[in-house]
Structure 1
């Protein structure tokens, strides 16, 4: 019985202790929660809306408050929309400034003048023209300005002879180590057939040196040339007559030892303007000068053969090559064989009916004999020449 009563007492104490512990734990938990809430409230950032309201209120208070400059006390401004302007303070008087001396510089050189002077600088540094190039430019200018005025002058007219000497004939340059001889030899080796006629001529003339040749129809000065071999190997002087602009450009480059005439031989005993067809090596006179839509046609001044001889002061020709694509029989009768001595002539073979008979008649009359007839040329040799 006593044990049972003690057990109940012990149970009651245990339950009371449990209740007390629960109360203590709840109180501790409540206190910690309260502390966390306070710290959270203290650390919580202010909301943007609240900050804006506080800033507006602060700015409003500053606008309504004005400080007196003397005792630095705030003065409340009256409620009004008008803006009170502060009185302007008098500006301090400035000392008179010293006069400034302005130094004027000379005006800069205009850009236009500088650009105009640039070509002069280039001209001084560019390669100077050779004497022959200067001569070509000078004579081309004279020919263009006064060439047409020579039309109709007789082949012996001193005015025409002087004009031919001054405006047409381009003199050779003296031989130099840098001349075009090596290039010419190379070009000749490419076309050995071009030297067949020259080989026969030099054979008939017993390898004559320092001779003079007239080649009319010189084309480009190299291709099918009858004069180039004699000029290089036997020191002959050449007169190359060619009216085709395309051929003349090459002649002026490579035949610096020759006389050059950028004209055609006249088919009349007077100077005349003619229409010339620039057709490669087959260029020829097509008729009187005129306007043509054909781009290969050019108007050129034609000079008689005897005028050229007088302009060069020649009374003899060792070899005359006449190749003018069909006009040979118009030129041949105009040669005065009594005034000019010709040893050998080659005349192009055109295989025209009656052409050879007329040619033989003129040549026999002037003491020439037909020595060789090839598929290209007839070779005539003067009877006074002693053959090897």
Structure 2
């Protein structure tokens, strides 16, 4: 009874807060309903920053999801982290490295290179992957560890221009690096390059490198169908969606161990 009265009191003094909360819940349900209608067979996971279990690192439990449904504590594997950013905080591949996996990472930000060298075992390539060989321009926020814009195809939005700076980095094709490193199989690939995902995917030869499971940032309300069509055309199942954030793809021939 006391709890009920307390809730009623809170609602009386903060009606707008509860209205906003109700709208937020309704909005999320509406998003899920619309997505489910379009993709009835795709598993849906909430966009949340709360980790479900200790020992995992991903921002939205991607590593936990993959381990639970696919890898199940697998001790030996190979990962590829494209756009690794911080080697520990919110990282999708750190958990698997802790299990004994080997891997490669592509991270062009200079201030992240030193962290990766000190805190991770994966082979680091301080370059950006794209659909062409050359040089790319990154716009980086001084108040963030993340890339805010890559090349010319993303907007910096409302960021104050005085808060950002540009860096030039070498760009290469994924397939060329894999060929040089003699890599033909990847258990898990994490792709998160702030809107540049399609360019990276165009540089992958899926006939030369077998990738079992991928998480690809598809950061919009319902995601970009161009990415999904490309993956499906290359032999992948659109398996899961972390709402408003990542798509999860699984090769049609992949068998869960």
User: Common fold, TM-score beyond 0.5?
Assistant: yes
In the alignment, what sits opposite 2:117? 252
Q: CA deviation at 1:303?
A: 1.3
Larger radius of gyration: 1
In the alignment, what sits opposite 1:264? 128
1:222 aligns with 2:222: no
1:340 aligns with 2:209: yes
Q: Is the 8 A contact 1:220 1:248 kept in 2?
A: no
Q: Is the 8 A contact 2:57 2:63 kept in 1?
A: no
Give the SS at the match of 1:345. strand
| Segment of structure 1 superposing worse, 375-384 or 276-285 | 276-285
Taking a change above 3 Å as real, the CA distance of residues 193 and 307 of structure 1, as seen in their structure-2 partners, is closer
In the alignment, what sits opposite 2:192? 323
Q: CA deviation at 1:285?
A: 1.7
In the alignment, what sits opposite 2:100? 235
In the alignment, what sits opposite 2:150? 285
Q: CA deviation at 1:207?
A: 3.0
Give the SS at the match of 1:370. strand
In the alignment, what sits opposite 1:382? 251
Q: 1:273 aligns with which of 135, 139, 144?
A: 135
Taking a change above 3 Å as real, the CA distance of residues 281 and 380 of structure 1, as seen in their structure-2 partners, is farther
Q: 2:233 aligns with which of 349, 353, 365?
A: 365
User: How many pairs are equivalent?
Assistant: 193
Give the SS at the match of 2:256. coil
Give the SS at the match of 2:151. strand
Q: CA deviation at 1:363?
A: 1.2
Which segments of 5 or more consecutive residues in structure 1 lack a partner in the other structure? 1-187
Give the SS at the match of 1:278. strand
| Residues 85-144 of structure 1, C-alpha deviations (whole Å, 9 max, x = no match) | xxxxxxxxxxxxxxxxxxxxxxxxxxxxxxxxxxxxxxxxxxxxxxxxxxxxxxxxxxxx
Q: Is the 8 A contact 2:138 2:150 kept in 1?
A: yes
| Residues 164-222 of structure 1, C-alpha deviations (whole Å, 9 max, x = no match) | xxxxxxxxxxxxxxxxxxxxxxxx96985547211222231343222111111111211
Q: Is the 8 A contact 1:245 1:278 kept in 2?
A: no
Alpha carbon RMSD of aligned pairs, Å? 2.6
Distance in 1, Cα, partners of 2:57 & 2:82: 20
What aligned pairs does 1:151-190 form with structure 2 within 5 A after superposition? none
Taking a change above 3 Å as real, the CA distance of residues 265 and 352 of structure 1, as seen in their structure-2 partners, is farther
Distance in 2, Cα, partners of 1:295 & 1:194: 24
Give the SS at the match of 2:224. helix
Relative contact order, higher structure (CA 8 A, sep 6+): 2
Give the SS at the match of 1:363. helix
Taking a change above 3 Å as real, the CA distance of residues 191 and 341 of structure 1, as seen in their structure-2 partners, is closer
Which segments of 5 or more consecutive residues in structure 2 lack a partner in the other structure? 1-52, 154-161
Taking a change above 3 Å as real, the CA distance of residues 313 and 379 of structure 1, as seen in their structure-2 partners, is same
Distance in 2, Cα, partners of 1:334 & 1:263: 14
Q: CA deviation at 1:387?
A: 3.5
Runs of 4+ in structure 1 displaced over 2 angstroms?
188-195, 205-209, 277-282, 293-296
Give the SS at the match of 1:378. strand
| Residues 37-71 of structure 1, C-alpha deviations (whole Å, 9 max, x = no match) | xxxxxxxxxxxxxxxxxxxxxxxxxxxxxxxxxxx
Q: 2:75 aligns with which of 190, 209, 221?
A: 209
